[in-house]
């Protein structure tokens, strides 16, 4: 990774953060002849090794394919077109690939996508600096701890929900709309082959359980848990026992078990900034808004926003036309809010009250009414399919 310019020089775009949003944006800008540099606070091994979501919507696959970024997912990704729902009234499989717009997901672990994007960005001659902790962003100047300031005509904040870029934009007066879903998940990554051909959603009076295939030998599981749960409280035996209970293995067959590679608690919260940028600072990905993982929209929104922002920044830097930047919020936010609406609906479908009081029984009855409507109504199924795979 050779240094082609002094970090004290001004570049077209300084991208803060080397997650999917920053890496897709950087690759698209380079491909359009815009000079940029990516600053990432973590080491390369940490960036490329962190296991995250793995469901890519059809639009994300098209963006990656059209821009020469899909070699890995074409070679190793697997398409999913069905999902399975279980409850105390049985199970059914929804073939969403034959419903709605007929679109499917491509399952490709995010860490593999990130490795692909890093390699392609460097192959295209991009500047990517790991171990650079950004302390402040102001008027196009990015201050790096213990190093030189980096100045760009524009700064793209792609450094996540707790990043410096988001704080800088909020400090300028941008407001946030937010929602706490009141639900937490124990997220478990297991070295175990998938136990189902499809994504599995299990509804149970003890709480939701989810099964998400990642690779032929690794599976992601989720268990609804109380807010404030310590992952250390969950031994491997407890995890597999609870998964077996909620996924009703006595009725539908056992899970394929293996060592737990990692476990963490995720609180389901969502928020959206009223505008994803202003002036010389523009955001994409989790920096612009956090979405709950209940419908696997986070990485796909990041790709969408990176695509829109790349076009707007290119027009501004190559033609002096900032119309695209002025329109960025209007282009992105309707699709962001539609994704949030569906994610919110999915959260209501999957998470019912856990106690046995009158209100809890009422809530669980509504939950199963939603599920029964999804099982029997073609109109409901088409809505689900279009929003489940769409951005």
Instruction: Encode pLDDT of 89-116 as tens digits.
Output: 899 999 999 999 999 999 998 999 999 9
Does residue 307 surpass a pLDDT of 50?
yes
What is the pLDDT, as a whole number, of residue 198? 79
Top mean-pLDDT range of 25-29, 142-146, 197-201: 25-29
Least confident of 56-60, 240-244, 289-293, 349-353: 349-353
CA distances 164 to 40, 133, 145, 177, 296, Å, are 12, 10, 12, 19, 25
Q: So what's the pLDDT on residue 263?
A: 95
φ, ψ of residue 205 in degrees (nearest 5): -65, -20
Q: Is 221 part of the annotated catalytic residue set? A: no
Percent of the chain clearing pLDDT 90 (strictly above): 88
> What's the pLDDT score for residue 357?
87
User: Which range among 91-105, 110-124, 356-370 shows the weakest confidence by mean pLDDT?
Assistant: 356-370
Q: Catalytic site residue 226? A: no
Average the pLDDT over 318-331 and give the result.
96
* pLDDT mean across residues, the chain: 94
Task: Verify whether residue 201 is a known catalytic residue.
Answer: yes
Alpha-carbon gap, residue 242 to 125, rounded angstroms: 49
List the catalytic residue out of 96, 154, 221, 388.
Answer: 388
Question: Would the pLDDT of 1 be above 50?
Answer: no
What spatial distance separates the first Cα and last Cα of the chain, rounded to whole Å? 35
Max Cα separation, the chain?
67
What pLDDT score does 284 carry? 98
Q: Can you give the pLDDT at residue 162?
A: 94
Please identify which of the residues 96, 201, 222, 328 carries the catalytic annotation: 201
DSSP strand pairing (127-129 vs 105-107): unpaired
Residue 20 annotated in active site: no
Q: How open is the CA angle 324-328-330, to the nearest 5 degrees? A: 115
CA 322 to CA 304: how far, in whole Å?
A: 19
| pLDDT for residue 215 is more than 70 | yes
265: pLDDT strictly greater than 70: yes
Domains of the chain: 10-81+94-178+270-345 (3.50.50.60)
The rounded distance, in Å, linking the Cα atoms of 37 and 364 is 51
Task: Please work out, in degrees rounded to the nearest 5, the angle formed at the alpha carbon of residue 312 by the alpha carbons of 308 and 317.
Answer: 145
* Annotation says 388 is catalytic: yes
Model's pTM, two decimal places? 0.94
Tell me the average pLDDT across 13-32: 97
Of 297, 311, 340, 351, which is the active-site residue? 297
* Of 20, 194, 276, 293, catalytic: 293
* Choice among 20, 80, 194, 263 that is catalytic: 80
Q: Higher-confidence residue: 100 or 5?
A: 100
pLDDT of 7 reads 55
CA dihedral 40, 43, 49, 52 (to 10 degrees): -30
pLDDT of residue 3: 44
CA separation for the pair 135, 143 (Å, rounded):
6
């Amino acid at each position: 990774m050779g240094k082609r310019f002094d970090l004290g020089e001004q570049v077209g775009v300084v991208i803060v953060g080397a997650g999917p949003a920053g890496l897709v944006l950087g690759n698209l800008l380079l491909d359009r002849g815009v000079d940029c540099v990516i600053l990432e606070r973590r080491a390369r091994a940490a960036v490329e090794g962190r296991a995250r979501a793995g469901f890519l919507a059809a639009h994300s696959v098209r963006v990656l394919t059209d821009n020469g970024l899909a070699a890995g997912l074409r070679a190793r990704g697997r398409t999913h077109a069905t999902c399975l729902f279980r409850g105390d009234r049985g199970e059914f499989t929804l073939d969403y690939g034959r419903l709605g717009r007929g679109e499917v997901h491509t399952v490709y672990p995010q860490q593999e996508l990130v490795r692909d994007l890093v390699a392609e960005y460097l192959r295209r001659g991009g500047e990517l600096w790991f171990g650079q902790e950004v302390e402040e962003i102001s008027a196009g100047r990015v201050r790096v701890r213990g190093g030189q300031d980096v100045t760009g005509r524009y700064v793209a904040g792609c450094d996540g929900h707790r990043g410096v870029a988001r704080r800088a934009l909020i400090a300028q007066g941008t407001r946030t709309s937010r929602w706490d879903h009141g639900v937490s998940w124990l997220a478990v990554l297991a070295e175990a082959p998938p136990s189902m051909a499809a994504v599995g959603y299990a509804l149970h009076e003890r709480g939701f359980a989810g099964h998400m295939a990642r690779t032929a030998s690794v599976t992601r599981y989720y268990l609804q848990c109380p807010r404030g749960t310590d992952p250390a409280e969950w031994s491997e035996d407890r995890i597999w026992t609870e998964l077996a209970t909620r996924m009703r293995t006595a009725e539908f067959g056992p899970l394929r078990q293996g060592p737990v590679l990692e476990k963490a608690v995720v609180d389901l919260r969502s928020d959206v900034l009223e505008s994803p940028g202003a002036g010389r600072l523009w955001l994409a990905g989790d920096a612009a808004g956090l979405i709950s993982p209940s419908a696997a929209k986070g990485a796909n929104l990041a790709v969408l926003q990176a695509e829109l922002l790349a076009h707007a920044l290119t027009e501004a830097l190559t033609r002096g036309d900032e119309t695209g930047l002025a329109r960025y919020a209007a282009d992105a936010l309707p699709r962001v809010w539609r994704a949030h609406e569906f994610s919110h609906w999915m959260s209501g479908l999957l998470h019912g009250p856990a106690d046995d009081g009158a209100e809890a029984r009422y809530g669980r009855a509504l939950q199963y009414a939603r599920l029964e409507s999804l099982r029997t109504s073609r109109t409901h199924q088409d809505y689900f399919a279009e929003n489940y795979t769409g951005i």
